[in-house]
């Protein structure tokens, strides 16, 4: 099963500063590329938990007694760690990209390159699909999603066209949607379609809320000195992550204690985000927009 090469692999493992007997989390296990490298740094007493809500990822679970696969969205981080008797961890990695497997599996509906049902669910036990959104949401709701999550410039026009077209027949497949979008494309075609599909995918999987919940729980379970390393792929993800590492909240609001001392739960390790080299981008074009940000939990 083809999953993407682990992005910024060397840089991420170095940034985590893994302790051989520590407890770590790969919050977006996928194909297990990062997890394998993390295990190489762990000793016999080390432990690694790999979270992934996509049932396909379970097939990649590592046959290593130090590894535990958790079939869940990372928004449930704290609950599942507690279930396994773990209160605190020494490091957490999250690679927020959609896996190559998900993009290349035609039946999943993540990509405009293949005709299939408009699905886009990372967890196929959830009911809401991309087809649900384009057929049931109001024009106003569609406009909001396309504008906020895809930065689609003519979001209102697209939303109104979708609502008009679905009166004739339901929009069920990728090609159904592409036929509606083609006359409305502004600028570079592939970029435009990527923005529309990104917006729908984020809504289907409730990605922004899940990210916020995950970050808050990561702060709670990280030991002082523990590190949080997050790889983002677009500004919608990167902005809250950057804010969170700087201030402890996704809004970026600087908070202070009773005495006026600014509270910063993290020491930011990456003053500027770490980006892939030209060589890595040549080998793995999907790494192009990746940004790695790392923070170290400070002692309160």
pLDDT value at residue 1:
47
pLDDT value at residue 255:
86
Examine domains 9-100+207-297 and 127-204 and report if their fold is the same: no
- Rounded to the nearest 10°, the torsion over CA 98, 104, 107, 113 is 100
10 Å CB burial of residue 147 (0-12, 13-18, 19+) is middle
pLDDT value at residue 258:
82
Strand partners, 20: none
Three-state SS annotation for the chain: CCCCCCCCHHHHHHHHCCCCCCEEEECCCCCCHHHHHHHHHCCCCCEEEEECCCHHHHHHCCCCCCEEEECCCHHHHHHHHHHCCCCCEEEEEEECCCCHHHHHCHHHCCCCCCCCECCCCCCCCCCCCHHHHHHHCCHHHHHHHHHHHHCCCCHHHHHHHHHHHCCCCCCCEHHHHHHHHHHHCCCCHHHHHHHHHHHHHHHHCCHHHHHHHHHHHHHHHEEEEEEEEEEECCHHHHHHHHHHHHHCCCCCCCEECCCCCEECCEEECCCCCECCCHHHHHHCHHHCCCEEEEEEECCC
- CATH fit for domain 9-100+207-297, picks 3.40.630.30, 3.50.30.50, 3.40.50.150, 3.40.190.10: 3.40.50.150
Whole-structure pTM value: 0.92
CATH second-level architecture of 127-204?
A: Orthogonal Bundle (1.10)
Whether the Cβ atoms of residue 40 and residue 48 lie closer than 8 Å to each other: no
- The ranges assigned to domains in the chain are 9-100+207-297, 127-204
- Could you report the average pLDDT of every consecutive run of 10 residues in the chain (300 residues)? 76 97 97 96 98 91 96 97 98 87 75 92 93 98 97 97 97 97 96 95 96 98 98 95 96 87 92 96 91 93
pLDDT value at residue 228:
98
């Amino acid at each position: 099963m083809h999953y993407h090469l682990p992005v910024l692999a060397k840089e991420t493992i170095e940034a985590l500063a893994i302790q051989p007997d520590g407890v770590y989390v790969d919050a977006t296990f996928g194909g297990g590329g990062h997890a394998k490298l993390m295990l190489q740094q762990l000793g016999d007493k080390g432990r690694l938990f790999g979270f992934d809500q996509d049932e396909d990822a379970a097939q990649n679970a590592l046959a290593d007694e130090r590894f535990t696969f958790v079939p869940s969205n990372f928004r449930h981080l704290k609950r599942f760690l507690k279930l396994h008797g773990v209160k605190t961890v020494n490091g957490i990695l999250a690679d927020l990209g959609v896996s190559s497997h998900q993009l290349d599996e035609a039946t999943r509906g993540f990509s405009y390159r293949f005709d299939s049902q408009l699905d886009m669910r990372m967890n196929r036990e959830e009911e809401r699909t991309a087809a649900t959104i384009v057929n049931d949401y109001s024009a106003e709701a569609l406009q909001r999603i396309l504008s906020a999550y895809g930065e689609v410039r003519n979001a209102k026009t697209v939303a109104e066209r979708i609502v008009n077209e679905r009166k004739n027949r339901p929009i069920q497949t990728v090609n159904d949607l592409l036929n509606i979008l083609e006359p409305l494309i502004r600028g570079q075609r592939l970029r435009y379609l990527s923005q529309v599909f990104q917006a729908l995918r984020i809504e289907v999987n409730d990605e922004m809320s899940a990210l916020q919940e995950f970050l808050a729980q990561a702060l709670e379970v990280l030991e002082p000195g523990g590190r949080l390393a997050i790889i983002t792929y677009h500004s919608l993800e990167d902005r809250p992550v950057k804010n969170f590492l700087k201030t402890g909240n996704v809004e970026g609001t600087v908070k202070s204690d009773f005495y006026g001392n600014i509270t910063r739960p993290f020491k930011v390790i990456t003053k500027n985000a770490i980006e892939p080299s030209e060589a890595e981008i040549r080998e793995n074009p999907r790494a192009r927009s990746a940004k790695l940000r790392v923070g170290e939990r400070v002692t309160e």
